Amino acid sequence: MIELKDIDMTFGIGTPDENHVLNGLSLKVNRGDFITIIGSNGAGKSTLFNVISGKYSPTSGRVIFQEGDVTSQPEYRRARYIGRIFQDPLLGTAGNMSLEDNMVITQKKGFKGLKISLNHQLREKFRKELVQLDMNLENRLSDNVGTLSGGQRQALTLLMTVLSQPEILLLDEHTAALDPKNAAKVLELTCRFIEKYSLTAMMVTHNMQQAIDYGNRLLMLDNGQVIFDVSGEEKKNLTVDLLVKKFHEIRKSDFLSDEALLS
Ligand SMILES: Nc1ncnc2c1ncn2[C@@H]1O[C@H](COP(=O)(O)OP(=O)(O)OP(=O)(O)O)[C@@H](O)[C@H]1O
Ligand SMILES: [Mg+2]
């Protein structure tokens, strides 16, 4: 589905701030994978997503999507098949527009590429979809999105992203800014949608237990490299203690506290 081949990403080349963030990173994401990603601050997790989504062109290496080389394809073109959700609940929706006007964007263009316009049928469809969130948003179609709480807004972003039928969903600590109750709710919805729509997904989290509990595959990133890639039974048998041990084993150092991996 998506393959990264020997990706290097260096910022500030030739300056005193030169920073090698991704170092020969190679990764094959299979269709239907739900991959959780952990790694300490600055390990390169968001940069990895930026390279996949086309925000950044890698310094070297190739990004392959369904056997086609998309390394130089711009972000707006990749947005047609890559859905991305950020930590900030304000980022995925337009606050000064109504829920229904936001949701229209998720509809594929109609006949001859004409923009879809709102009608009764579409409103009913949105209402039905919103019921799944269990946040009473189905009764607020004409309210501005800016009036929603952070949790409601992130749940709406999630729903809209899923409805736009991405080939791959990138979740970058998308519940980290929410209070525990809303974070749990959005995470539960995420898993439900991934299963319902058989999505391929990658989810960055700083919560190691979450990384173990969710998905079929777990990656640990360190210093711009995948240092641990585990799936199936082996993943199921992981514990937080085992993960921390693994981290130290692979890194062959213990100067980093366990909290650093979690933080
Ligand atoms: N546009 C940029 N210009 C310069 N440096 C950058 C840029 N984007 C990221 N970096 C640097 O790349 C390194 C990795 O950043 P990245 O955001 O990928 O880390 P991360 O693993 O997502 O960390 P966190 O857990 O804190 O979100 C950091 O040192 C960061 O400062
Ligand atoms: Mg990040």
Ligand 1 pocket check for 21: Cβ under 6 Å: yes
pLDDT digits (tens, 9 = 90+) for 71-118: 999 999 999 999 999 999 999 999 999 999 999 988 865 555 566 778
Q: How far apart are CA 9 and CA 48, in angstroms?
A: 9
The pair of three-digit structure tokens given for residue 116, joined into one six-digit string: 């879809």
Ligand 1 pocket check for 85: Cβ under 6 Å: no
pTM: 0.92
Asked if 69 and 78 touch (Cβ cutoff 8 Å), the reply is no
Return the DSSP state at 98: B
In the chain, what are the domains?
2-93+167-262 (3.40.50.300)
The overall longest dimension of the chain from CA atoms, in Å, is 62
CA 174 to ligand 1 centroid distance, Å: 17
Residue with tokens 């709710």: 185
Ligand 1 pocket check for 19: Cβ under 6 Å: yes
Ligand 1 pocket check for 54: Cβ under 6 Å: no
Asked if 85 and 92 touch (Cβ cutoff 8 Å), the reply is yes
Output the pLDDT for position 67: 85
- Using DSSP, state whether 63 is helix, strand or coil: strand
pLDDT digits (tens, 9 = 90+) for 206-223: 999 999 999 999 999 999
Output the pLDDT for position 118: 84
Output the pLDDT for position 106: 84
* Residue ranges in the chain modelled with pLDDT below 50: 255-257, 263
All residues at 6 or more sequence positions from 228 whose CB lies less than 8 Å from its CB, including other chains: 218, 219, 220, 243, 246, 247, 250
Asked if 27 and 227 touch (Cβ cutoff 8 Å), the reply is no
